[in-house]
Each structure stands twice: as structure tokens, then as C-alpha cells.
Structure 1
Amino acid sequence: MKKVIFATTNKNKVREVNMMMKDFDVELQTMGEAGINIDIVEDGKTFEENAIIKAKTIMEITGEIAIADDSGLEVDYLDGAPGIYSARFLGEDTSYDIKNNYIIDKLKDAKGKERSARFVCAMAVAFPNGKIKTCKGTIEGLIAYEQKGTNGFGYDPIVYVPEYEMTTGEMAPELKNSISHRGKALEQMKEILKAGLEEEC
């Protein structure tokens, strides 16, 4: 079974990706499981650039296939913020409860489609032969008027998806994974990995 290292220290992301990769014949290792303890400087200008930086760094350290994602929330009323700074928004150690309430407060005068927002996930894979591939998934929604739901993590309690009449924080994990930005990106990444692994054989 081919080893693939997931370039993240975010346990919530690892849990989600493991759930979605359980039918895929690779051994997915976290950075911790691979014995890697480094801080990667994510100084890209886009989600894709940051995902590439992470995947390439880990592939070069280990010589193994590495995948990475960079994801976040884009709120149109806030000119796309927090965007690529989603994890560091209002400070890295600021709780998501505070971040979520801050965004809700900023949108207190926004109505209807003015509250449009989306989760974005860019994924990158770096192969030891130097090839790098990327893909992207999004899920559209509206910023809710209050936090709802204890499933998921991060900004999930404030992104309301009209088709399902609930926030992503209220969704069962199986539902969220089937429609989420990360779920969509990962489905594409599986195809990219499959093709890349076949080339290596």
C-alpha cells in the first residue's frame, strides 16, 4: 500500500479526510505520524499557492507523495475576508466562537443575498518525480444570523446552506462530507492520485 503524507497538523481536517479516504487504497499519514514537526510558512497569495507550498515542502523532506489543503471562508460583504487568512483571522489564538460572532456582527445590516459566502478548499499533491497537481472545491451559502450546530469545526456554525435549510455545523458528518468544499476537492484529488500512482507503477 502506497504511503501518502497529509501535510497538516489540524486534527479536525485529518478526521474528515480519513473518513472520505477510507475506500481508497493508500496509507494516509499525518505529519505527526511521519515524525515531522516543522512550521511551514504559508506566504502564498491564494489557497492554491499555500496548498502547493505545504505539499511540496513535505514531499521534499520525506521523499514521499504529499497532499495538502488550504481552505477558508470567503464573505462577499467583507470583500472576500477572511479568505486565505481564515485560520489566523483576528489572531491565531482567537477562538472560533469569537471569530464567528465578529462576522455575524459585521453583517448585522446585510440582508438576503448580501450575506452570500462560500467555503473554499484548494488541494495540492506533490509527487517525488517533481510533478505537482491542484484541484479546488467550493460550497456556497449565506452567513447565518446566529451560530447553530455543534458538528464540524471552525466557521461551520455560521454558514447556512439554503438547499438543506441548515448550517454546515448542523449537518451530520456524512452529509457534510458529501457536499462540502473539502469533499468536492478530495474527490478530484483521488482521481489525480490514482493517475499519479499508476504512472509510478
Structure 2
Amino acid sequence: MTMHVVLASHNAHKIAEFQKILGRDVPDIVIEAYDGPEPVEDGASFDENALIKARAAAAHTSRVALADDSGISVDIMGGAPGIFSARWSGTREDSENRRLLLAQLADIPRQNRVAQFRCSIAIVDPSTGLEQVARGEWAGRVALQETGENGFGYDPIFVPDGYSVSSAELLPEVKNEISHRARAFRAAAPILQGL
């Protein structure tokens, strides 16, 4: 039986990426876009912000809701941008966020640009009260410059461990196997299958 879940996001890229990843791990689930108001993300962690969004979507739709909060954490910057990744430059413009981060790391040598993409996926089922969070992490480093056309967000400046190209240069099917979201979804799949 097919289960429809709402993804608490207005980001079309993210909705498509989630459906591709979920289609592989949990093929009987269909992701639907969220059309409700965006809650204030005032949590102090990826987990808290994901739960805020999932709770809002579940309350608005009365359906099982998924939400992710994700971003890039740079070791030499004490984990920043972290939960502020989407608005690091003061805007929601991916290109501006990347430009600022590259400028902040301009004098930092390649070996000290260690970073991780982190993702927390919250699952909220309003019919049972279930609230759980699954996590994924993808290690790598911040590149010296932008490269690649695939992906979004910080993909053009993130070089995953074991690769010499940015995550924006990876084929989508490769990225969807190894990314932080893919890892978080693998952790979330048993929770979803149990609903």
C-alpha cells in the first residue's frame, strides 16, 4: 500500500532529491510538497529545527510529515555556518552564501578546510504522536573555488572525502547514494517502514 507523506519544504530541488532517495529505500512512499506556512526555525541544532518544521507540517496537514535541516559545518570555523547555512550571507541566495564562505576561507590552506555536510530528518506522525530524528553526515572539505552544475546549496564548493571533484560535479545518482541526506534517509527508512 502506498503511503503519502508531506515534506515540510517549499524547495523543489529538495523535494525531487528526497523522492529519488526514498524511492530506492522505501518505494511505497510518495513525497508530497508542503503548502502551509513556514514556521520560525529558532532551534539550536539541526535536530530541533527539523522537528519544528515536521511538527508544523503535520499539524497543518494532519499527515505524516518529514522535514530535514541540513547544512555545512567547517571545522576551522568552529562548525559554522552550521544551522545558519541557508542564510549565511543574510539572504537565502545559494550563490551569495557560497561566495561569503569562500571569502571567509580565502587564506586557509586546502588541508585545513575540513568540513561536513550534516542532515537531520525528523519524522512526525500526528495520529500516533511519534516523533523521531535520523541523522546523516558526509565528510569532505571546502574547495578553493566553485565547480559543477549539479546539486544546489553548497554542493559546488564541497569536495567529498575520496573524490577530487565537488558534489555538484557528481552524477545525481552517485550523490543520492552517498550524501548526508542519503545517509540520514537510510537511518530513517526503518522508522518509515514501521508506520
TM-score normalised by structure 1 residue count: 0.90
Confirm or deny: 8 A CA contact 2:4 2:31 kept in the other structure. Answer: yes
Displacement after TM superposition at 1:108 (Å): 2.1
Distance in 1 of aligned mates of 2:56 and 2:99? 35
Q: How does 1:54-133 map to 2 (within 5 A)?
A: 54-93=53-92, 95-128=93-126, 129-133=128-132
Question: Which segment is superposed worse, 95-104 or 112-121?
Answer: 95-104
Question: Would the aligned equivalents of 1:77 and 1:107 in 2 still touch at CA under 8 Å?
Answer: no
1:156-167 to structure 2, matched below 5 A, reads 156-167=155-166
| Alignment size in residue pairs | 191
Q: Indicate conservation of the 8 Å contact 1:5/1:65, yes or no.
A: yes
Structure 1 segments (4+ residues) deviating >3 Å:
none
5+ residue gaps, structure 1:
none
Give the match's secondary structure for 1:22: helix
CA-based RMSD: 1.3
Q: Is the 2:150–2:168 contact (alpha carbons within 8 Å) kept by the matching residues of 1? A: yes
Q: Give the CA deviation at 1:82.
A: 1.0
Task: Decide whether the 8 Å contact of 2:36 with 2:57 is kept in 1.
Answer: no
Deviations 1:115-173 (A, max 9, x none): 00110000010012111011100101111111011110010011112412111011000
Residue equivalent to 1:46: 45
Query: What is the percent sequence identity of the aligned residues?
Result: 37
Structure 2 counterpart of 1:164, one-letter code: Y
> How far apart are 1:15 and its partner, in Å?
1.0
Q: Given the two structures, how large is their TM-score scaled by the length of structure 2?
A: 0.93
**Residue matched to 2:12:** 11
Residue equivalent to 1:28: 31
CA distance in 2, matches of 1:53, 1:162: 31
Matching residue of 1:143: 142
The residue aligned with 2:171 is 172
- Residues of 2 paired with 1:39 and 1:142: CA distance? 31
1 CA distance for matches of 2:150 and 2:61? 34
